[in-house]
Structure 1
Amino acid sequence: MFAARAFGRQAHVLPKWTQFRRVSTLEGAPHIYVFPNAEQANGSHILSLLPSEPTNPDLAIGVSSQLPPTTDTFKENPKFLSIVQEVCSQYAHEDPDAKSQAQVMVSVAGANLSSGGVLVTGSRGRTRRSGGDSSGGASGQGGAGSGGRGGWIHVSDSRRPPDYGRIAWPEDMFGSLEVDSKGQFVGENGNYQPSGTYRIITRDGIFGLSPFLREKLVQKLRELEK
């Protein structure tokens, strides 16, 4: 699954007294940095989207007692999740993927489908496992089957994309955006509604936002870091 991967960076143009620095990232998730947890002597690790040291624990993704992190060894940071939701509320409706999904939802092709829509953040990920009511259609919630009527699309993690025309599992869903009958987002921010069920790590992988939202999130974290 995931493991730590170390990279050494030492440019030849740097002065001789410049120290050699090693930056570790999570294998399979190069955007996540791994640091030893100085506050604990049990060899745990802090996971963060920022490469800065020392790491601010309030801005970190969470802490894992071992690598690769698992659902049993990882403890998520609720403050980080609050920041993620703040960023999604502010920018999810501007995500190119969201705009595309909104247009698909109200298209003529979408009118021929019978289940709910979904926005999967990022272009790659594992195929969802079959079975389970939570992955069923959501025609009552809008989505791909709401051609010409508007409805809701769902902002979801890229680690387990749902089948086409299905909604994401609760632990993979960040929140939802409301779309009108013309494929435009309702209100100033698409009336974004957080799901309240998202989990940073599951058996299918760890936190994965779309490139657009991840960039916005990193910008927000850097602002808070200052």
Structure 2
Amino acid sequence: MIAFCALTRAAFLQRGFSTLGARLLPYPYPINFVPEPSKVSIAVTFAASPDLTTGTRKIVGWVQQQPTTDIPTIDGQYIRPQEFAENAEFWPQVDRILKKHAHEDPELQAQAAGMKSGWLNITDARNPPPPSRTGAAEDIFGSIMVEDRIIKPGSFQANWAHRPVTIYGLFQLPEYLHNKLVESLSKKDDE
């Protein structure tokens, strides 16, 4: 038996995907789809000019075109979960960005101002929950500690049940944190 704390994000991704219909909205951020030489997959990245020869740190994951399906894999930047393979090297930097910058995010600060103390979930904007409700586990990046209406810096705790792609599409960080992630991806690997 595996202890819960030893489970990784990959273990959660092995669950089956929901087949419920989803409301699909246009993706709010630029995405680059880069065909990889000698592979049938296409790399998905937020990097403006990705140099994929230096490693996979900048790749969110890979999609495969399915020519037999009626709807193309990349249709208005929508990625279907059954055609997506996550890049495990990408997620540690997302967690670092959240740990380092979540307390600076204006959206999260506004949410924290509405509560006294406790844990505030950072919810994926691709499928926001109704007001005063908790989102689905696959749509929560993690939580941050709020003390006296102020986010405690460095308090981010990752939620390993979060999925990068669901029936609602690719993950969506709050704008401030997304920009911090893109800034991180634009740096050279040795920076």
User: Shorter chain as normaliser: what TM range?
Assistant: 0.7 to 0.9
CA RMSD of aligned residues (A): 1.8
Alignment of 1:92-103 (within 5 A): 92-103=102-113
Alignment of 1:185-196 (within 5 A): 185-186=151-152, 188-189=153-154, 191-196=155-160
Could you tell me which residue of structure 2 aligns to residue 71 of structure 1? 81
Shift of the alpha carbon at 1:37? 1.7
**Alignment TM-score, normalising by the size of structure 1:** 0.63
Structure 2 counterpart of 1:163, one-letter code: P
Could you tell me which residue of structure 2 aligns to residue 38 of structure 1? 37
What SS does structure 2 have at the residue aligned with 1:31? Answer: coil
**Matched residue count:** 153
Residue 129 of structure 2 corresponds to residue 162 of structure 1: yes
Structure 2 counterpart of 1:158, one-letter code: A
Could you tell me which residue of structure 2 aligns to residue 58 of structure 1? 57
Shift of the alpha carbon at 1:224? 4.0
Residue 144 of structure 2 corresponds to residue 208 of structure 1: no
Please give the per-residue CA displacement for 1:110-164, whole angstroms capped at 9, x wherever unaligned: xxxxxxxxxxxxxxxxxxxxxxxxxxxxxxxxxxxxxxxx111101110000011
CA separation in 1, counterparts of 2:27 and 2:177? 19
Q: Describe the shift of the 1:30–1:164 C-alpha distance in structure 2 as closer, same or farther (beyond 3 A).
A: closer
Could you tell me which residue of structure 1 aligns to residue 27 of structure 2? 28
**Alignment TM-score, normalising by the size of structure 2:** 0.74
Structure 1, 27-36 or 70-79: larger mean CA deviation: 27-36
CA separation in 1, counterparts of 2:97 and 2:104? 11
Gaps in structure 1 of 5+ consecutive residues: 2-26, 107-149
Could you tell me which residue of structure 1 aligns to residue 162 of structure 2? 198
Residue 98 of structure 2 corresponds to residue 88 of structure 1: yes
Percentage of matched positions with identical amino acids? 28
> Whose Rg is larger?
1
Structure 2 counterpart of 1:174, one-letter code: F
Gaps in structure 2 of 5+ consecutive residues: 1-21, 66-72
Residue 182 of structure 2 corresponds to residue 172 of structure 1: no
